Structure 1
Amino acid sequence: MEATAAAAVRVLVADDHPVVREGLCAMLASDPGIEVVGQAGSGEEAVALTQRLVPDVVLLDLRMGGMDGVGATGHIRRQTPHTKVVIVTTYEDDSDILRAVEAGAAGYLLKGSSRAELTGAVHAAARGETVLTPSLAGKLFRARTVEAPLLSGRECEVLQWVGQGLTNAEIGRKLFIGEATVKTHLLRAFKKLDVSDRTAAVITALERGLLS
C-alpha cells in the first residue's frame, strides 16, 4: 500500500564494475517502491548524471578510477543538495568512513549487505535518516576523538529528533517551535560540532555522548 501511495524513490547506482552495478540494480528492482533511473561507471559520470537526473538517492562506490566516492559525494552534495548519497563499498577503514560522512554522505554500507538492508537504507536515506551498517558504527566513533562541545538542551533535543528522521517542520511541531527556530538550533549545533550537515551532526553528537 505504501509503495503505491507514494512516488518511488529514484536511485542512481554508481560503481566502476558493471557486474556489481547490475547486482545492486537487481536487488533494488525487487522493491516496487524504488526506481533505478541511471547507472554510472565513474565518479565523474555519477556527478554529471546526478545533475541531469536529480535522483533522490545515489548509491556510490567508494574507490573508483579518477574521482573517488568521497570526491563525487562532495560535488553531488554541493550541486544537488536534495540528493542523498549512500556509500556502498567493500572497505571498512576508519578514515574512509569518516571522510565519506564529512563529505556529506547520508550513510555507509558494505557490499555484503543483504537485499533488505540495501533497500531499507535507500528508503531511510530518502527520508533524511542516517544510514550506517551497525558493525561500522564503532569504527566511525573511534575515528572521531575531538573534545565534546557544549550543546544546549534544545540543540540536543533537535538533534535527537533529526536522528529519528524527522524534518525541520516535524521537529518544530514536536517541540512547539517554528521551523525557522529549528533551523537556527541546527546551524548552531553544526558550528559547535564542526560539521556541515544533519547526518554528520547526529553521528558526531552520538559519538561524543551528547545524545542518548
Structure 2
Amino acid sequence: MIVDDHEIVRRGIAEIVDRDDDFEVVAEAGSVEDAIRRAELVKPDVMLVDLQLPDGTGIDIMRSVGQSDPSIKAIVLTSFDDDGALTEALEVGARAYILKTVRGGEINDVIRAVAEGRVLLDERTMTRRFPDGENPTASLTPSERKVLELIGDGMSNREIGENLGIAEKTVKNHITSLLAKMGLQRRTQVAAWVAAQRAAAWRNG
C-alpha cells in the first residue's frame, strides 16, 4: 500500500512497484484516516508511508496500524530528512527510512528486503543515533551479544530461544536488558543497528 497525499507521486511510485512481477499495489491513500481504513480492509504486507499528510503524519498511521496488525511492515518514504522524524519512525516500528531522492529501482529492493523480514537503515542514519564513535554494545554480556546478532538475522524470540537452547522468556529478558543498555526502545532498532554495522563491514572489506 502506498500512502502519499500527492497523487502524481503516488502514481509514480505505484508504476515503479508494479514493474516488479513479485509485487502488487493493493491500495493507495492520501490521508491518515484513509490509510488506516484501507490498511484494515486490504491488510497489505508492506506500507510505503509519507510523513507529511493533510490530517496528521505517517507516524500516526504506523502507530495505529502497528497496534491493530503488527504483521504489516512499514517503510517511510519521505523528503523529510530530520533526526526527530527518524527517531519517531523507529519508535513506532518503521523497518526502513528512505528519502525521495532514492532511485526508482532501489525502492523495490527495499520493499523486497523488508517483506522478507529485514530492517534497512543506512550507516549514516544509525551513526546519527550513536555519534562520536560511541559503541552502544560495549556493556552487553556475551549472551546478549548472541541475541543481538540473531535479532539481526531476522529471527523471532522463539527461534532465538531454540537456536541458543534457552527459554523464550529468557530471550525476552535479554532483549529488555540490551535495549536498555543500548538506549533503544524496539527490537527493530536493534536489527537496524546490526544491519548498518554489517553493511559498513562489507563495504570496508
Same-fold status (TM-score > 0.5): yes
Residue 81 of structure 2 aligns with an amino acid whose one-letter code is E
Q: Which residue of 1 aligns with 2:78?
A: 89
Residue 118 of structure 1 corresponds to which residue in structure 2? 107
Shift of 1:135: 4.3
Q: Does 1:52 align with 2:36?
A: no
Give the conservation status (yes or no) of the 8 Å contact 2:152–2:190: no
Q: Does 1:163 align with 2:127?
A: no
AA matched with 1:151: L
**Alpha-carbon displacement from aligned partner over 1:111-162 (angstroms, at most 9, x marks no partner):** 12123321111111122211224543333444xx9x8784332222122122
Q: How many residues align?
A: 197
Structure 2 partner of 1:197: 186
Structure 2 counterpart SS, 1:124: helix
Give 1:152's aligned residue: 141
Indicate the residue corresponding to 1:16 in structure 2.
5
Q: In the TM superposition, what whole-angstrom CA distance separates every residue of 1:49-82 from its partner, at most 9, and x where no partner exists?
A: 1111111111000111112011111111111111
8 A contact 1:163–1:202 mirrored in 2:
yes
Check if 1:98 corresponds to 2:87: yes
Instruction: Output the TM-score relative to the length of structure 2.
Output: 0.80
Deviations 1:76-118 (A, max 9, x none): 1111111111100011111111111112211101112123321
Q: Give 1:37's aligned amino acid.
A: V
Mapped partners of 2:194, 2:138: distance in 1: 9
- CA gap of 1:148–1:168, structure 2 versus 1, over 3 A, is closer
Kindly indicate whether residue 96 of structure 2 is the aligned counterpart of residue 107 of structure 1. Answer: yes
| Greater Cα shift, 45-54 or 175-184 | 175-184
Q: 1:85 to 1:63 in 2, by over 3 A?
A: same
- Residue 3 of structure 1: aligned partner: none
SS of the counterpart of 2:26?
A: strand
Counterpart in the other structure of 1:38: 27
Indicate the larger mover: 99-108 or 194-203: 194-203
Secondary structure of the structure 1 residue equivalent to 2:97: strand
Q: Residues of 1 paired with 2:4 and 2:164: CA distance?
A: 41
Work out the CA distance in 2 between the residues paired with 1:77 and 1:177. 28
Q: CA RMSD in A?
A: 3.0
Question: If the length of structure 1 is used for normalisation, what is the TM-score?
Answer: 0.78
- For residue 65 of structure 1, the aligned residue among 38, 54, 78 is 54
Displacement after TM superposition at 1:192 (Å): 4.8
Gaps of 5+ in 1: 1-11
Can you give the 5+ residue segments of structure 2 that lack an aligned partner in the other structure?
A: none
Aligned partner of 2:186: which letter?
D
Q: Is the 8 A contact 1:110 1:133 kept in 2?
A: no
Question: Structure 1 pair 139/79, CA: closer, same or farther in 2 (3 Å)?
Answer: same
Identity %: 31
Secondary structure of the residue aligned to 1:19 is helix
